[in-house]
Structure 1
């Protein structure tokens, strides 16, 4: 309001000043005289001012006419003129409009329309770094990968679009499944922009797929230094990569480098089971049993695993069952309430023929968490304690359909793998395997990672062919007690003196009195059966008929259990 009032007052002041000035000039008696060539012109002050304004306007018109003449001459000479600039601005307006419509078409997934708009924008705009990019994206949207690759190659010629071209070609190679060329392109893109998060992740993924563990560790270190990865996650992934690098180096025969890498990985991530096992075996190879025990005990306190127990047994491979039980007490004490500790203790007591102690160590696991391994141990306990064959067969029947227990399961796609690997075979996820029990749908279709299929403590490791596999359809016949054995003790009750966590062979199962007697011998010894097991026929004049073997229900090995499955005790790997 006040500003408007000021503007009005200023306007009237200017008008008043002009009016007063004109009145003053009109009252002035002085005249403006102009003499030229004998001609004299006398002008009043007002006329003089008007004549000056007219002259200024005429001068402006003359300059404009001269400029028009010059522009026409330049136009005839072929030089750029205002006419060309006018038409150029019109073309730019049409080109940018087509470019904007093409970007919207790409965003909405209309590939054909996007290609048409990109071509129109390319005709009107003289900016190939923009129109080529739109054309490449439009070709990708339309599914024309050949045209997209050709345009991305053109983008490589311009410094402003070289990174975009490399990245586009990398994505095309990934879509085609050519990971080797995609890795080379990712390395070039990473060299241009080392802080680009997507390029870093793609390069790291491709390096792990191609088993370039050294390059992957370098990329991971860069991500950590740039603050794009938490410290704990970076240490864990670096430990995984160091473990695989150590495995490859060990395969090449460079044991010293492998030992250092494995020890470094185990220290960085104590719950990385394969690293601890590899490091412990490296120490064992150097006769450093103290450090081997220390690293395995530390891992057991964090995450007990059968492979850790197997490596712990390799420290003293020839010890007797009683001595092994005493030595393993230190390992079990690191995590005594864990299920794996209870199973390990039960197996050790079985090897020492302490069947009541094995039953106490197992506890109620056979009821609360029935797995193939727990039920197999329970069957071994019952056999060793002298239970009837029906009781043993009952536990075996339950084991046929029981869960296989913890296995290496991918947290991303739930794929089950027999051995640990840093990369999932199914989805390609990095460091996604966890030692846990898979869902019921995948139990039957996957072999157990530990190899503890049917009754590992009784029938030994699985056969390599179907002909050598033990026939589970025949009932297990117990041997009668020997003359030097107490009543109720069976010859098969003895368990082999093997490392805990290692599946014994068939010939390892021998009794304490007769080393030649094996558990899997289908034919009983020609010794008289114990009196409680003989059914006396009723007295009659006719001769007693020969006893007819009672038909037993056949227990057929499930198809999901391959005969040549890997041994459960072989070293697995995981976090």
Structure 2
């Protein structure tokens, strides 16, 4: 506001000074500049200061007009000679307007899914603009939508020849190879695209996915580090996924001559993510193989504190194999203290007491888990406890029958596509997503027939005891299983 007012005041002052100067020169009071006398051919001309000023202005104006006429004359000569002029620039701007209009219309057609129209607009834009770097990408995408795959690939190959559009061409062919299922070629193209633009997040994700599919764990770790470096991945997620990849590499070479390297990678994976159950299990197994029981116990306790898991309980049981019942109970109680309220802790202690045939403590440890979270494992455990305490066969059969129709319990489930896996994997075998398997309950779609023997080995020792009733119990369970399967098949058939 003040600046605008200052500028206005300054302009008015300049106008006033100029007007005063002109009026002063024109007045009789002018004593600074007198009259000018010009003599031409013996004639003298007296010119006042005002007249002299006007003459000077007219001379300057005439000189400017003369120079402009000379420029026009030179422009006409250049036009005749074939050089660029305002006339040619006018036609160029007209073609440019038509080209950009066709380009925008082609992009709109591409967005609305009209491939053939977008392709024709791209050709029209190229005709007027003569800029393949602008029009070829539109033409390639339009050709893909229109179903002209070969034409699209030819355009992408043309883009590769130009250094400024090389990445776009490589990426286009890479995505085409991915859609065709040619992962080997797509992997090579992804590496090339990554070398051209290492900061491109989509290329990083595609490359990591293809590297894990190819079991190139070391290469995937390098790409993951680049993703962290360029700010496309939070540090905590990087640590977790780096641990998953390190574990995968360790598991792959654990049976080779490079066992020491595998141990180092497994320990690194456990260090990066102590709650990664498969890493803790692998490290504990390696420590146990080297007779380092204290180290194995430390690793399992750390993992159990954040994520109790049956595999951890199984390897922990191996540590105390051959120990006295008292020492075994003491060791398991120390592990249970790490996460005492978790249902996995309760089932672990129940299994431990079942092995020792201490059925009252097994029931006390299991608590009401079989009622709150009924699944194959907990229901089979209560059946084994009932059998160990001498319950009637009908009671045991009741629990086992419930176990036949109960959910299997927690499994490794992909958070991305909800696919259940029997064992942990670094990537989902259905959607190939990295580090998406979580130990969780999954809705059952089909009756489970397994009695949880892979999770409760001590239960089978009780159920398969040689007391004369076991054979009849097994027969009854098999009959119940057959009857249950038949009823489920009938229900499925009626639904169909």
8 Å Cα contact 1:407/1:437 also seen in 2: yes
How far apart, in 1, do the equivalents of 2:270 and 2:324 lie? 30
8 Å Cα contact 2:412/2:420 also seen in 1: yes
- Counterpart in the other structure of 2:233: 229
Stretch moving more, 151-160 or 110-119: 110-119
Q: TM-score if structure 1 supplies the norm length?
A: 0.71
SS at match of 1:556: helix
Alignment of 1:52-451 (within 5 A): 70-319=74-323, 324-439=328-443, 443-445=444-446
Q: TM-score if structure 2 supplies the norm length?
A: 0.81
Residue deviations 1:263-300, cap 9 Å, x none? 11112212111111111111122222221222122222
Which structure's relative contact order is higher, taking Cα pairs within 8 Å and 6+ residues apart? 1
How far apart, in 1, do the equivalents of 2:389 and 2:53 lie? 134
Point out the structure with max Rg over C-alpha.
Answer: 1
- Counterpart in the other structure of 1:33: 40
Which of these residues, 437, 462, 471, is aligned with residue 521 of structure 1? 471
Q: Report deviation, 1:243.
A: 0.7
8 Å Cα contact 1:32/1:45 also seen in 2: no
8 Å Cα contact 1:112/1:142 also seen in 2: yes
Flag the 1:290–1:19 CA change in 2: closer, same or farther, 3 A: same
SS at match of 1:123: helix
Stretch moving more, 367-376 or 174-183: 174-183
Counterpart check, 1:556 vs 2:472: no
How far apart, in 2, do the equivalents of 1:109 and 1:13 lie? 72
Flag the 1:15–1:339 CA change in 2: closer, same or farther, 3 A: same
How far apart, in 2, do the equivalents of 1:49 and 1:5 lie? 22
How far apart, in 2, do the equivalents of 1:82 and 1:109 lie? 40
How many residues are aligned here? 472
Aligned alpha-carbon RMSD (Å): 3.8
How far apart, in 2, do the equivalents of 1:298 and 1:29 lie? 108
SS at match of 1:206: helix
Q: Report deviation, 1:213.
A: 1.0
Larger helix proportion of the pair = 2
8 Å Cα contact 2:122/2:138 also seen in 1: yes
- Counterpart in the other structure of 1:485: none
How far apart, in 2, do the equivalents of 1:437 and 1:391 lie? 27
8 Å Cα contact 2:251/2:262 also seen in 1: yes
SS at match of 1:287: coil
Flag the 1:32–1:163 CA change in 2: closer, same or farther, 3 A: farther
How far apart, in 2, do the equivalents of 1:29 and 1:244 lie? 102
Flag the 1:92–1:32 CA change in 2: closer, same or farther, 3 A: farther
8 Å Cα contact 2:284/2:295 also seen in 1: yes
Q: Which runs of 5+ in 1 are unaligned?
A: 35-39, 462-499, 512-516, 525-550, 561-575
SS at match of 1:555: helix
Stretch moving more, 241-250 or 115-124: 115-124
8 Å Cα contact 1:32/1:48 also seen in 2: no
SS at match of 2:408: coil
Residue deviations 1:322-353, cap 9 Å, x none? 66444433323332322112112212222222
Q: Report deviation, 1:109.
A: 4.2
How far apart, in 2, do the equivalents of 1:351 and 1:29 lie? 131
How far apart, in 2, do the equivalents of 1:157 and 1:20 lie? 78
SS at match of 1:404: coil
Q: Report deviation, 1:122.
A: 1.1
8 Å Cα contact 2:355/2:458 also seen in 1: no
How far apart, in 1, do the equivalents of 2:205 and 2:27 lie? 81
SS at match of 1:521: helix
8 Å Cα contact 1:280/1:291 also seen in 2: yes
